[in-house]
């Protein structure tokens, strides 16, 4: 086992780095939900590996159940923080960085919703689809709120500068397109044609609500890195966050385009559905190419950081979900175009994703056991 898990296995008293166990609640932040995002996307990627996907599906299902437990635990801890330390919890809205991670909550929920379709139908039957549908609308509401309220606070309450900018600016914005891609996966499973149409239309709106804004942020981010070079080592994983909206944008176009012909034809819009399908394939392929550029860049940046030595923090979960959603988009391109190349690339990316999940998961377990990962910067910085 790694040195990071040694303190757990050696019987060290849990939460030894905290003054009191209740500090785990007082210091709990939404950053932890990034762990459920990474776990959830790995669960969804494993069954899609060509050839061995069916053999990996049980592993993915176990990860999905584990992810539900994690989400419930984190939701309970964060809810307890608001109940017990509400005067401190509300400071998050004024914090330049931690407030961005509120967007991880709806994105984490989206991975559970998608798991209901990938694993839940086979396990529990079609009765789980209405549950997923209700959860999806909750996710939509949270994503819409995050996508506008956090930027509003950036414009009115926060203090930002170009040299201090990182890709975490993307987190509240990207939640809507994640919900949109999830809607594309959900729509074909709904039995009511009207509900299918509403879900499809809403998902396209969510895509448009998010992707243009995210790409505007990416343009600023490229300028920031050209002028001010790489961010502090504590934000080393943030270079991967840019892959998130690109991969999700590609996946969204592909799944919505695949849904459009049948759903729109049922409402007398067969011609529009055919056009949407074509746009989905072309847009998905183009965005995948853009993501390939960012994947190469992020890899080079990561090598540079790791050679210098990077201390672990919860931000390392940023290595997982963006890579995972790009991987899923890669698999989708492979099945859409019937090209084995994408299946091969997706398999390689899945191996990298699984390895990173194991590494970051082990470090997170060790840090959670010791208690040193429970840190709320918004308490240390009064607003």
Q: What is the pLDDT of residues 260-275, one digit of tens each?
A: 999 999 999 999 999 9
Q: What top-level class would CATH report for the domain 19-360? A: mainly alpha
**Which residue bears the tokens 């500090």?**
23
The DSSP secondary-structure symbol of 230 reads: S
CA angle 71, 75, 76 (to 5 degrees): 120
Task: List the domain boundaries for the chain.
Answer: 19-360
Give the alpha-carbon dihedral of 64, 70, 76, 77, to 10 degrees: -160
- What is the pLDDT at residue 1? 46
User: How much is the pLDDT for 16?
Assistant: 86
- pLDDT, residue 151, reads 97
Please give the Cα distance from 316 to 274 (Å, whole number): 41
Measured CA to CA in angstroms, residue 270 lies from 253, 273, 275, 280 at distances of: 18, 5, 9, 15
- pLDDT reported for residue 130: 98
pLDDT in tens, 108-125: 999 999 999 999 999 999
CA distance 183 to 201: 9
Sign of the torsion formed by the C-alpha atoms of 349, 351, 352 and 356: positive
Q: Mind listing the pLDDT tens digit of every residue in the chain (383 residues)?
A: 455 555 454 546 888 888 899 999 999 999 999 999 999 999 999 999 999 999 999 999 999 999 999 999 999 999 999 999 999 999 999 999 999 999 999 999 999 999 999 999 999 999 999 999 999 999 999 999 999 999 999 999 999 999 999 999 999 999 999 999 999 999 999 999 999 999 999 999 999 999 999 999 999 999 999 999 998 888 888 999 999 999 999 999 999 999 999 999 999 999 999 999 999 999 999 999 999 999 999 999 999 998 888 889 999 999 999 999 999 999 999 999 999 999 999 999 999 999 999 999 999 999 999 999 999 998 875 54
Contacts by 10-15 with C-beta closer than 8 Å and gap 24+?
12/369, 12/370, 14/369, 14/370, 14/371, 15/369, 15/370, 15/371, 15/374
pLDDT at 70: 98
CA-wise closest residue to 354 among 58, 115, 63: 63
């Amino acid at each position: 086992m790694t040195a990071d898990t040694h303190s757990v296995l050696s019987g060290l008293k849990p939460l030894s780095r905290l003054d009191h166990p209740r500090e785990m609640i007082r210091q709990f932040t939404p950053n932890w939900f990034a762990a459920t995002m990474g776990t959830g996307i790995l669960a969804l990627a494993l069954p899609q590996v060509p050839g061995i996907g069916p053999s990996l599906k049980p592993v993915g299902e176990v990860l999905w159940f584990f992810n539900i437990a994690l989400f419930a635990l984190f939701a309970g801890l964060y809810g307890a923080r608001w109940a017990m330390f509400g005067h401190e919890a509300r400071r998050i809205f004024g914090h330049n960085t931690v407030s961005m991670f509120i967007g991880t909550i709806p994105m984490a929920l989206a991975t559970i919703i998608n798991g209901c379709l990938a694993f839940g139908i086979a396990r529990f039957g079609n009765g789980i689809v209405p549950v997923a549908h209700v959860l999806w609308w909750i996710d939509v509401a949270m994503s819409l709120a995050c996508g506008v309220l956090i930027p509003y606070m950036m414009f009115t309450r926060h203090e930002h500068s170009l040299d201090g900018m990182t890709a975490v600016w993307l987190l509240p914005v990207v939640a809507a397109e994640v919900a949109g891609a999830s809607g594309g996966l959900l729509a074909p499973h709904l039995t009511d044609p009207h509900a299918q149409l509403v879900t499809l239309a809403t998902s396209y709106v969510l895509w448009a609500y998010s992707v243009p804004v995210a790409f505007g942020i990416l343009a600023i981010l490229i300028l920031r890195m050209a002028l001010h070079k790489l961010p502090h080592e504590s934000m080393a994983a943030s270079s991967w966050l840019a892959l998130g909206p690109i991969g999700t944008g590609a996946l969204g176009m592909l799944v919505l385009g695949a849904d459009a012909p049948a759903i729109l034809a049922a409402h007398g819009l067969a011609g529009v559905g055919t056009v949407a399908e074509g746009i989905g394939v072309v847009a998905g392929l183009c965005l995948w190419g853009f993501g390939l550029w960012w994947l190469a860049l992020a890899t080079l940046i990561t090598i540079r950081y790791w050679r210098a030595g990077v201390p672990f923090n919860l931000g390392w979960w940023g290595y997982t979900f963006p890579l995972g959603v790009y991987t899923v988009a890669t698999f989708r391109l492979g099945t859409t175009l019937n090209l084995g190349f994408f299946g091969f690339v997706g398999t390689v990316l899945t191996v990298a994703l699984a390895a990173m999940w194991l590494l970051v998961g082990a470090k997170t377990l060790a840090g959670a056991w010791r208690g040193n990962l429970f840190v709320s910067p918004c308490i240390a910085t009064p607003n």
